[in-house]
Amino acid sequence: MSRLKIAIQKKGRLNESSLSILRECGIEIPNGAGKLIAESSNFPIDILFLRDDDIPQYVHQKVADLGIVGENVLIESRKKVSMLKKLGIAKCRLSLAIPKDIPYEGIRFFQDKTIATSYPQLLQSYLDRQAIRAQIEEISGSVEIVPGLGLAAGICDIVSSGSTLFSNGLKEVELVMKSEAVLIGSEHLEGEKALLLQQLLFRIDAVLSSKGKKYILLNAPNDKIDAIVRILPGMKSPTILPLAAKGWSSLHSVIDEDQFWEHIDELKKAGAEGILVVPIEKMIQ
Ligand code: ATP
Ligand code: MG
């Protein structure tokens, strides 16, 4: 029986979240701090722990069948692998930033300037699209301190909230790309491995579909049911069960969590009582 090999980040932002997606898929992974490889005891998959920059290469060379990396790392690597699924984690953007007290009037600011980045390929193709010629200085870490040292006019780096930029006296001026973590695979998986991948993708879909979704139960007088169903757009076809109390029913449905918070007051006004919102672990569609 063959086993899949999946490469995930050894240490860093994607390590925990990659492991938790696999665990939510029901895959047991032994906790072995510092190990290079871990074998699942209940699904034929081995987990390789690597630096994220190396993952596209390992998948391309078929040392690993699958991998989890940021789209930014995948595109930067220019390796030919398949992008199998967006995972909705590690959402961030690659942006250009400059010192916050320097006036900025558009992309031409960067013409003939030096930009420091760990993503030279992504930056170069962005600058080409914008018809800007600039000097790219490749730096592997702590890019945000470079403008302060006078080594570059600006940087191109990962941003999520913007607080790291801000605390280094920088402001974000252009969006280069949006990124999130993706599942990648070597091209042409065959035989048992292809079947195992289908099983894994099925489980990942079930886990991702349930994200942000809640199961809602509430009680309402029968004559208010229509109004309540209209308030919650996600409640297309709720289950309606009679309560022991005459003239009352219980409504059950799946809704987006955001929707719930937006509509809670309206629901109460419309006559909903005893509202329960419970988590959903998996959802098969
Ligand atoms: P490694 O040591 O494995 O090379 P790294 O330092 O390159 O790690 P991390 O900082 O751990 O990488 O980030 C991993 C990925 O997470 C990035 O490539 C990016 O896709 C995403 N990421 C980085 N910073 C953030 C952030 N602030 N918010 C959300 N996602 C982020
Ligand atoms: Mg890296």
pLDDT tops 90 at residue 151: no
Q: Give the ligand 1 atom nearest the CA of 13.
A: 11
Q: Give the ligand 1 atom nearest the CA of 164.
A: 27
Q: Which structural domains are found in the chain, ordered by start?
A: 4-89+180-210 (3.40.190.10), 92-179 (3.40.190.10), 213-279 (3.30.70.120)
Question: In this predicted structure, what is the pLDDT of residue 234?
Answer: 66
Question: In this predicted structure, what is the pLDDT of residue 144?
Answer: 87
pLDDT tops 80 at residue 236: no
Ligand 2 centroid–CA 51 distance in Å is 6
Ligand 1 centroid–CA 13 distance in Å is 5
CA-nearest residue for atom 2, ligand 1, is: 51
Ligand 2 centroid–CA 74 distance in Å is 11
Q: Is the dihedral of CA 97, 98, 104, 105 positive or negative?
A: negative
Q: Each residue of 103-143: pLDDT tens digit?
A: 999 999 999 999 999 999 999 999 999 999 999 999 998 88
pLDDT tops 70 at residue 235: no
Q: Each residue of 185-199: pLDDT tens digit?
A: 999 898 999 999 999
pLDDT-derived band at 231 (thresholds 50, 70, 90) equals confident
Question: In this predicted structure, what is the pLDDT of residue 24?
Answer: 95
For ligand 1, whether the C-beta of 249 sits within 6 Å is no
For ligand 1, whether the C-beta of 252 sits within 6 Å is no
Mean pLDDT of the chain: 94
pLDDT tops 70 at residue 182: yes
Contact 238, 249 (CB under 8 A): no
For ligand 1, whether the C-beta of 257 sits within 6 Å is no
pLDDT tops 90 at residue 263: no
Question: In this predicted structure, what is the pLDDT of residue 17?
Answer: 96
Q: Is the dihedral of CA 75, 80, 83, 88 positive or negative?
A: negative
Query: 29-43, 76-90, 241-255: which has the minimum mean pLDDT?
Result: 29-43
pLDDT over 90 percentage in the chain: 80
Question: In this predicted structure, what is the pLDDT of residue 232?
Answer: 76
Question: In this predicted structure, what is the pLDDT of residue 233?
Answer: 66
Question: Which is more confident, 120 or 238?
Answer: 120
Question: In this predicted structure, what is the pLDDT of residue 142?
Answer: 85
CA-nearest residue for atom 21, ligand 1, is: 90
DSSP code of residue 135 = E
Question: Which is more confident, 232 or 68?
Answer: 68
Ligand 1 centroid–CA 130 distance in Å is 26
Question: In this predicted structure, what is the pLDDT of residue 28?
Answer: 97
Question: In this predicted structure, what is the pLDDT of residue 201?
Answer: 97
pLDDT-derived band at 78 (thresholds 50, 70, 90) equals very high
For ligand 1, whether the C-beta of 53 sits within 6 Å is yes
